[in-house]
């Protein structure tokens, strides 16, 4: 069976006046199931509230657009109320309870990427809601709810009967939601648009890597992430993950071309991508990207907390490490051709600006 790596867009799962929840489907993107990867997107309108929930999978959240408030409760810990904005990355380990709220006019859009190895369904997140029409209160009998929370039957019926929303509701404008608390962001959030750059190539591109050093919770999540931005017509060097990790890539902005080469030197993907598309690069496959005139940016997770990449072009390329005689014999070329090949790309850049 031929491997299908074609980029896909998400499908709406549910929604209403408060916003919508979208997810990528393993049936349409088989690599999700094969790699045990989940991918989803939450879009909240003004006063939209994503009800408290926990998931069967660890995730990284990335704020694509807008600003708002998030509530995060780690197991047996106090609630953290965090202000979130475009560019924020948030590590969400197993067992964390979250809620999300938009009090601004601009739509709040959040991307979720994660692993589903321990999930109920391979390649798909399953959320468990604390409230709402599909929340845990609706599943237990009034007797169980009453005894567990020491409530009389009248209060129990009000609690259960008043929950008409499913996953996302639109809060009353007069309701005062919790205000973000100073210091709660520390250790939970890294803004990829403001963080120190791990790679910065003039007229080429920039990278911010999310790992255990700048966000320790990444260690509990079990995988790393990065935000890459390349300038117009620039190229991201061909490379692969040398620690058997999958690369899950969401195109945040711009557009460009992507090529992926697999086993036996076969090109398994050649496509044009634009904002909103998601694709997965299998373990050890080599990927390269070239941006269109407006540049291109993408947010990726790599299924290891501290990923290691090998790039095949530039000063640190494996080609530069191999002996000239080996390259000459392997390529079956004259010494001057090998020398010309070796002499190019002498910088340690992984992004290459367009040549004039």
What are the tokens at 69? Answer: 């408030």
Question: What is the domain class of 192-352 according to CATH?
Answer: mainly beta
The secondary structure of 289-340 as a DSSP string is EEEEEEEEEEEEEESSSS--EEESSSTT-HHHHS-HHHHHHHHT--HHHHHH
Q: Does 11-132 match 192-352 in CATH topology?
A: yes
What are the pLDDT tens digits along the chain (356 aa)?
A: 578 899 999 999 999 999 999 999 999 999 999 889 999 999 999 999 999 999 999 999 999 999 999 999 998 899 999 999 999 999 999 889 999 999 999 999 999 999 998 899 999 999 999 998 899 888 999 999 999 999 999 999 888 888 788 999 999 999 999 999 888 998 899 999 999 998 888 888 999 988 888 988 888 888 888 999 999 999 988 888 776 678 899 999 999 999 999 988 899 999 999 999 999 998 889 999 999 999 999 999 877 666 666 666 666 677 777 788 888 888 888 888 888 887 766 555 576 777 76
Answering whether pTM is above 0.85, one says yes
Helices (H), the chain: 30-35, 136-139, 142-149, 153-161, 218-221, 318-321, 324-331, 335-343
Closest C-alpha among 6, 7, 39 to residue 24: 39
Domain at 11-132: CATH code: 2.60.120.10
Q: What is the dihedral of CA 215, 218, 219, 223, to 10 degrees?
A: -140
The alpha carbon of residue 284 and the mean position of all alpha carbons in its chain are separated, in whole angstroms, by: 20
Give the number of other CB atoms < 10 A from CB of residue 57.
25
Q: How far is CA 61 from CA 12, 40, 220, 277, 295, in A?
A: 18, 10, 14, 16, 23
What are the tokens at 245? Answer: 């990790």
Domain ranges (residues) in the chain: 11-132, 192-352
Nearest-angstrom CA–CA distance, 324 and 348: 19
Reduced to 3 states (helix: H, G, I; strand: E, B; else coil), residue 46 is coil
């Amino acid at each position: 069976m031929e491997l299908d790596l074609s980029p896909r867009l998400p499908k709406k799962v549910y929604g209403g006046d408060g916003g919508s929840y979208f997810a990528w489907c393993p049936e349409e993107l088989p690599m999700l199931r094969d790699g045990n990867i989940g991918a989803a997107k939450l879009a909240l309108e003004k006063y939209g509230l994503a009800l408290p929930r926990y998931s069967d999978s660890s995730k990284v959240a990335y704020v694509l657009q807008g600003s708002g408030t998030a509530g995060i409760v780690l197991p047996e810990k106090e609630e953290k109320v965090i202000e979130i904005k475009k560019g924020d990355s948030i590590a969400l380990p197993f067992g964390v309870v979250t809620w999300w709220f938009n009090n601004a006019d601009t739509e709040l859009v959040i991307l979720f990427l994660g692993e589903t190895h321990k999930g109920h369904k391979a390649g798909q997140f399953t959320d468990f809601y604390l409230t709402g029409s599909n929340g845990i209160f609706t599943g237990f009998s009034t007797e169980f709810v009453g005894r567990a929370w020491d409530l009389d039957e009248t209060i129990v019926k009000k609690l259960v009967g008043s929950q008409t929303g499913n996953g996302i509701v639109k809060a009353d404008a007069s309701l005062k939601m919790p205000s973000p608390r100073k210091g709660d962001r520390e250790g939970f959030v890294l803004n990829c648009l403001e963080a120190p750059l791990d790679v910065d190539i003039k007229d080429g591109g920039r990278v911010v890597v999310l790992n255990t050093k700048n966000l320790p919770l990444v260690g509990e999540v079990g995988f790393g992430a990065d935000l890459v931005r390349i300038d117009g017509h620039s190229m991201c060097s061909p490379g692969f993950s040398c620690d058997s990790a999958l690369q899950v890539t969401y195109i945040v902005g711009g557009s460009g071309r992507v090529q992926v080469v697999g086993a036996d030197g076969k090109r398994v993907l050649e496509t044009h991508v634009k904002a909103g598309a998601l694709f997965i690069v299998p373990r050890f496959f080599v990927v390269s990207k070239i941006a269109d005139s407006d540049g291109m940016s993408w947010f990726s997770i790599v299924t290891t907390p501290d990923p290691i990449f090998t790039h095949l072009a530039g000063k640190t390329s494996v080609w530069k490490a191999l002996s000239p005689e080996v390259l000459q014999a392997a390529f079956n070329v004259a010494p001057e051709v090998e020398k010309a090949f070796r002499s190019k790309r002498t910088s340690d850049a992984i992004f290459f600006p367009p040549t004039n």
